[in-house]
Amino acid sequence: MRTPLIAGNWKMHKTLAEASELVKGIREGVGGISGVEVLVCPPYQHLFPIAEAVKGSAVKLGAQNAHFELEGAFTGEISVPMLVDAGCTHVILGHSERRQYFAEDGPLLAKKVRAAVNGGLTAVYCVGETLEERESGRTAAVVERHMTEAIGKDVPADRLVIAYEPVWAIGTGKTATPDQAQEVHALIRGLLASKYDQATAESIRILYGGSVKPGNAETLLAQPDIDGALVGGACLAAGDFVAIIQAAETTVAMPS
């Protein structure tokens, strides 16, 4: 059985004092939880202090982006070795906001994914369609394109997590129904099987990311191909984030 992963993408939120308070609440809240991996992804400047704050706990540290070069004249960027040095184990790549606002495309993301996994990080690679693409029946085509652009057999499966984030459900309050989410997760699982093999595809975790909240987490996480969540707004309050983690723990205990 795949271990659920609940990841919090803090985006551009929290001063250091606020971030410290948030991670303290998360650490305290997950103290008795088992069978679930927890990941927090704060802004870059908080990585070192948050790494210290989670040391010795079950909470892992991730970053929200990375450059594909090891070093160089890339003002404002951050490299994989820098993230590893800060204590990161994961990095989010291909988030819809990076695609939309910073024009990140398939060839660029392919280089980023390989830089991350070759540098010792687990890549949390995001795929997903806009509302217009869903309404025009192109969900499968878009997801397949995103997968084909950046994921291949040269990407170690044990360094890969896929996050399905329907763009129309991010920050809008809309959420894919459990059936809608499961349908796309099953599609992704099939695409992974075609790139690797069925056994490998079954080992790779696929997260759902699209307005996950304490009230809908359990029904989403109970779906057979949903292996966790990439949480946005709800991860900014320790109580909400911990409640989602608890929902994941509940699904682990469910009979298969």
Catalytic positions are 95, 165
* Chain centre to alpha carbon of residue 180: 19
Q: How far apart are CA 254 and CA 256, in angstroms?
A: 6
Nearest one of 225, 209, 227 to 129, comparing CA atoms: 209
Beta-carbon contacts of 169 under 8 Å, excluding residues fewer than 6 positions away, are 175, 176, 210, 211
The label of the residue with tokens 């606002």 reads: 101
Residue 120, C-beta contacts closer than 8 angstroms, at least 6 positions apart: 80, 84
Find out whether 151 and 188 touch, Cβ atoms under 8 Å: no
Rounded to 5°, angle at Cα 188 from 185 and 189: 85
Residue 176 Cα to chain centre, angstroms: 17
Cα–Cα nearest to 3, from 204, 175, 176, 163: 204
Q: Which phi and psi angles does 23 have, rounded to 5°?
A: -70, -30
Q: What angle do CA 166, 243, 1 make, to 5 degrees?
A: 70
